[in-house]
A and B are shown apart, each in its own frame.
Chain A
Amino acid sequence: MTGAASTAVLIVILIFFFLGREALPFFKERGISDLIGTRWMPVSFQKELYGVIPLITGSLVVTVLATIIAIPFGVCGAVYVAEIARRGEKEFLKPFIELLAGIPSVVLGFFGLMVVAPLVKEIFGLGSGMTALTGALLLALMAIPTIMSISEDAITSVPESYKEASLALGASRLETIWKVTVPAARSGIVAAVMLGMGRVIGETMAVMMVTGNAAILTLSPFESVRTMTATIAAEMGEVAFGSVHYAALFCIGLILLAATFGLNVVAQRVLRRK
């Protein structure tokens, strides 16, 4: 059983190792300075450029926006399901939240392309609906179930005695929820948000379909962005095995893995600190 449990550790270490091994030729041939450039132009007759900064900002803009959109929905939803909803409502709501988590991202991406992108274009008066914001809206849909179900667990596990004490002191039900229960569950909620972010930063298909994938260095939600995941997915299929471009894609993979790994470590820390 110890063996089975530690397989996961071994796999993570192996993935880091193999990604590193495939990425290494890039540092030998081009060096790290090429990687921190501001233009990603891997197919060129002039000079191939492998600057990953626009890809990192692309992922960052989409992830941060999606998190900002998802937090109010996720947390308020969790509070409602855990504290306010009656038993019947709870039994009705929870399967739907889980269903939302189970929608394949290609389907969500198609929905984004046909429905969300035109809406974003109309509402903000843009030339094209393929923007970071459109991607973030779809990703928020994916993060909400994660945030909601983990926050709900955290809120439910706040001891009954806290709430009873608060109510006994004359606080209303809403005051108890927002001033006692939610702060007591804070670490669980923060961890839920971080795990939601982890889901968002690694998501590929839906983002690739709606963000336009132009590697523009920008922090504006109304521009097209190219995320790290979309870059790997779009280019890995045709890249020549063992080329500089191939190694560069593995460098992106390493950055991405480090980012999700970091988020998860922080989330675990926060969860433990009760």
Chain B
Amino acid sequence: MDRMRITLRGYAAVLTALFVFVSIGGFFGLTLAAERPKPVSIKGSDTMVQLVSSWAEAFMNKYPEADISVTGGGSGTGIAALLNGTTDICSASRDMKEKEIADARAKGIEPTRNVVARDGIAVIVNPANPISELTQEQIAKIYTGAYTNWTQLGGPDHKIIVLSRESSSVTYVFFQEHVLKLKDYTVEARLMPATSAIVQSVGADKWAIGYVGLGYAVESKGKVKMLAVKADADAPAVVPSEATVISGTYSIARGLYLYTKGTPEGQIKNFIDFCLSPEGQKIAVETGYVPVK
């Protein structure tokens, strides 16, 4: 009986405390709401969800009153949402198509492209591999299983060990879109759970080939060799580097954009400025992308 009474009293105390807490919180919440900047919504590229979320998180940590929501759905969906006015910013991993721009203008919207980061992928082989350049088509043939031996590429007679990222990886999809031209990977491709595992295997297995984000490949220089890539048979072979990705001469790369309606203003401008700030660009590098500048 005695114990029961204590418990009841305990409950009462907890309830009172909770009530006081909630009312104080509610009061402050109300007063803050009046001064809060407008919430910003960002919709678009699934590729960029992770990057944009990291930015949003850091931005909200820095300015606790900010409210930024990030959703995916694809670049196309994001652009449509921007035109319908259901999102403030559209994240896109490709340029807007002519038709989309025309649609926007018809609605009286002038879409503005803000380049916020770049995405570059290096194709790596073992330093002992005599091959040092390939065309994008040759790489696609290796990854779709058309080429299985290095002799088919003018190398020595060894089976090609194809290494890829897991299918859940953003890099996997980008490589599939950009290099494989939407074809399926060969079943023989070994899917590695992490970028570090690809670098480790290419460093250990003489006849392996893999692909990793440019930032990572540069870091592991010496252990692996980055291939120079030709966009097509007549194009010059370009070694991937931050400079060649930024200048656009390296072909397995793309820009990552945040599209806005007209010139960004207010909180939208603050957010984009934050992405482009040294702090924001550092986040991009940490997430595995190439900075803009």
A contact residues vs B (CB 8 Å cutoff): 39, 41-46, 54, 113-114, 117-118, 121, 127-130, 208-209, 212-217, 224, 226, 234-235, 237-239
Contact with A along B182-215 (1 / 0, CB 8 A): 1111011111110001001100111110000000
Chain B residues, CB < 8 A from A127: 158-159, 161, 205-208
Chain A's closest residue to B168 (CB) is: A238
Tier of interface size on chain B: 20 to 34
Chain A residues, CB < 8 A from B193: 208-209, 213, 234
Q: Tell whether, in the assembled complex, residue A118 and residue B204 are in contact, meaning their CB atoms are under 8 Å apart.
A: yes
Q: Tell whether, in the assembled complex, residue B188 and residue A213 are in contact, meaning their CB atoms are under 8 Å apart.
A: no
Q: Tell whether, in the assembled complex, residue B187 and residue A113 are in contact, meaning their CB atoms are under 8 Å apart.
A: no
Q: Tell whether, in the assembled complex, residue B200 and residue A234 are in contact, meaning their CB atoms are under 8 Å apart.
A: no
Complex: A8 Cα to B172 Cα, angstroms? 41
Offer 14 A-B interface pairs, CB within 8 angstroms, sorted by A. A41-B187, A43-B168, A45-B182, A46-B182, A127-B158, A127-B159, A127-B207, A130-B201, A212-B191, A213-B192, A214-B187, A216-B188, A234-B166, A234-B193
Interface of A is mostly: loop
Q: Tell whether, in the assembled complex, residue A128 and residue B167 are in contact, meaning their CB atoms are under 8 Å apart.
A: no
Chain A's closest residue to B206 (CB) is: A127
Determine how close the nearest CB of chain A comes to the CB of B51; give it in whole angstroms: 14
Q: Tell whether, in the assembled complex, residue A128 and residue B161 are in contact, meaning their CB atoms are under 8 Å apart.
A: yes
Contact for A39 among B168, B187, B190, B200, CB less than 8 A: B187
Q: CB of B177 within 8 A of chain A?
A: yes
Q: Tell whether, in the assembled complex, residue A239 and residue B168 are in contact, meaning their CB atoms are under 8 Å apart.
A: yes
Chain A's closest residue to B204 (CB) is: A118
- 9 A-B pairs besides A213-B166, A217-B187 with CB distance below 8 A are A42-B167, A127-B208, A208-B193, A209-B197, A212-B191, A214-B187, A216-B187, A234-B166, A237-B168
Complex: A43 Cα to B182 Cα, angstroms? 10
Determine how close the nearest CB of chain B comes to the CB of A111; give it in whole angstroms: 13
Q: CB of B132 within 8 A of chain A?
A: no
Which of A43, A46, A121 has the most CB atoms of chain B within a 10 A radius of its CB? A43
Chain A residues, CB < 8 A from B182: 45-46
Chain A residues, CB < 8 A from B207: 127
Q: Tell whether, in the assembled complex, residue A43 and residue B172 are in contact, meaning their CB atoms are under 8 Å apart.
A: yes
Known: A44-B184, A46-B184. A234 touches B191 (CB 8 A): yes
Complex: A46 Cα to B176 Cα, angstroms? 11
Q: CB of B173 within 8 A of chain A?
A: yes
Contact for A212 among B158, B183, B190, B200, CB less than 8 A: B190
Determine how close the nearest CB of chain A comes to the CB of B12; give it in whole angstroms: 30
Q: Tell whether, in the assembled complex, residue B183 and residue A46 are in contact, meaning their CB atoms are under 8 Å apart.
A: yes
For the complex of A and B, the 4 pairs showing the least CB-CB separation, nearest first, are: A212-B190, A238-B168, A45-B182, A43-B167
Chain A's closest residue to B50 (CB) is: A238
Chain A residues, CB < 8 A from B169: 238
Q: Tell whether, in the assembled complex, residue A214 and residue B166 are in contact, meaning their CB atoms are under 8 Å apart.
A: no
Complex: A224 Cα to B201 Cα, angstroms? 13
Determine how close the nearest CB of chain A comes to the CB of B152; give it in whole angstroms: 15
Q: Tell whether, in the assembled complex, residue A214 and residue B184 are in contact, meaning their CB atoms are under 8 Å apart.
A: no
Contact with A along B19-49 (1 / 0, CB 8 A): 0000000000000000000000000000000
